[in-house]
């Protein structure tokens, strides 16, 4: 059932022991909105903790570095920035039919929760910003850092076409709380681990260009993770890089998962719709950033992806 921000805030008030779930391989928006909400709930005197199946990337660990969660049996389970139950990770079945609230900005959300607060915003952290205000909680420095990290991440440091004037105003509001945006931006967008540099080198060697160089595809295998020592959560910059090549309209990264299936991330430029490309393959997301999962061999997965991209480009024979 769909609800608005006021109703979402009211349902949060009804819980006392609140578990907040993030998607696997949490990015800055997932971490940002989850921990900002956690801090707001603590200010209301509620018990709360954040959970994810995976460790966050190195450049995001500062958010939770000094936090120790209380142990409790939740009476309210909330998912943030999670479009599909299966995105919780290998243990997603543990939460099937048990999630009370979902806050999300993906229009492809499967509405697996009992109540869903859904808006097509640049970042889920924008929505959490609104919810915290509805709760009547003053946004402190920690929450401001979290919200800024969230909106900066999902807008590519305010460069992506999903950036709106409201996004900028929220970021400015967080800066007015005294956060160091320059340090955050350097850490988030200009700092690479040595393991990521090794992974990036291996991935760059897999680059394929298709359809008169309008489509770029990278591949990441399990062996590359083993060889580089990089974490899966470190892959987000590679996904963004796929559409940064001159003349490319569609960029995609095919990543082999532990179970042998493949996760596909698609990024588009201009009016080309990434969600349409992924919808043909059983996925979804945003207009310029979407994803899906496919089983089979790498060759078969790549062929299916290219067929969908070919149709999107309007060049099918």
Give the tens place of pLDDT for each residue, 74-119.
999 999 999 999 899 888 999 999 999 999 999 889 999 999 999 9
**Domain-terminating residue out of 126, 156, 189:** 189
- Domain finish residue from 165, 189, 213: 189
Residues 17 and 88 in one domain: yes
Check whether residue 25 and residue 162 sit in a common domain: yes
| Domain housing 250 | 194-313
CA dist., res. 308 & res. 316, Å (int): 9
At 58, the pLDDT band (50, 70, 90 cuts) reads confident
Q: What is the 3-state secondary structure (H, E, C) of 126-174?
A: HHHHHHHHHCCCCCCHHHHHHHHHHHHHHCCCCCCCCCCHHHHHHHHHH
Same domain, 216 and 278: yes
- 44: domain CATH number? 3.90.1640.10
Which of residues 162, 189, 216 is at a domain's end?
Answer: 189
Give yes or no: residues 110 and 207 share one domain.
no
Give the 3-state secondary structure of 49-86. Answer: EEECCCCCCHHHCCCCCCCCCCCCCCCEEEEECCCCHH
pLDDT reading at 317 higher than 60: no
Which residue from 166, 179, 51 is spatially nearest to 105, judged by alpha carbons?
166
Q: In the chain, which ranges are continuous DSSP H helix?
A: 5-13, 28-43, 124-134, 141-154, 165-176, 181-189, 194-204, 222-228, 236-241, 274-279, 298-313
Task: Supply the CATH number for residue 264's domain.
Answer: 3.10.310.30
Using alpha carbons only, how large is the chain's radius of gyration in Å? 19
* % the chain with pLDDT above 70: 99
Q: Is there a single domain that holds both residue 184 and residue 210?
A: no
- 204-215 residue pLDDT tens: 999 999 999 999
């Amino acid at each position: 059932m769909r609800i608005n921000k006021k109703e979402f805030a009211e349902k949060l008030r009804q819980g006392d022991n609140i578990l907040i779930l993030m998607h696997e391989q949490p990015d800055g928006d997932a971490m940002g909105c989850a921990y900002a909400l956690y801090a707001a709930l603590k200010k209301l005197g509620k018990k709360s903790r954040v959970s994810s199946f995976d460790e966050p990337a190195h450049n995001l660990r500062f958010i939770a570095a000094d936090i120790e969660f209380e142990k409790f049996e939740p009476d309210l389970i909330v998912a943030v920035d999670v479009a599909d139950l299966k995105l919780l990770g290998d243990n997603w079945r543990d939460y099937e039919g048990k999630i009370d609230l979902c806050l999300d900005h993906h229009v492809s959300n499967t509405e697996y929760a009992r109540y869903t607060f859904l808006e097509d915003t640049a970042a889920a952290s924008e929505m959490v910003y609104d919810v915290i205000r509805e709760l009547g909680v003053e946004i402190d420095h920690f929450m401001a850092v979290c919200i800024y990290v969230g909106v900066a991440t999902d807008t590519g440091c305010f460069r992506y076409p999903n950036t709106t004037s409201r996004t900028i105003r929220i970021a400015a509001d967080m800066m007015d709380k005294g956060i160091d945006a320059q340090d955050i931006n350097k850490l988030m967008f200009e700092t690479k681990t040595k393991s990521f540099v090794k992974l990036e080198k291996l991935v760059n060697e897999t680059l394929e260009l298709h359809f008169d160089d309008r489509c770029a595809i990278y591949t990441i295998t399990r062996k590359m993770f083993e060889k580089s020592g990089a974490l899966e959560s470190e892959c987000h910059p590679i996904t963004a890089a796929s559409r940064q090549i001159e003349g490319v309209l569609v960029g995609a990264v095919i990543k082999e998962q532990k179970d042998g299936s493949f996760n596909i991330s698609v990024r588009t430029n201009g009016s080309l719709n990434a969600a349409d490309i992924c919808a043909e393959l059983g996925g979804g997301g945003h207009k310029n950033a979407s994803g899906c999962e496919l089983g089979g061999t790498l060759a078969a997965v790549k062929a299916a992806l290219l067929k969908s991209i070919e149709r999107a480009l309007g060049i099918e024979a």
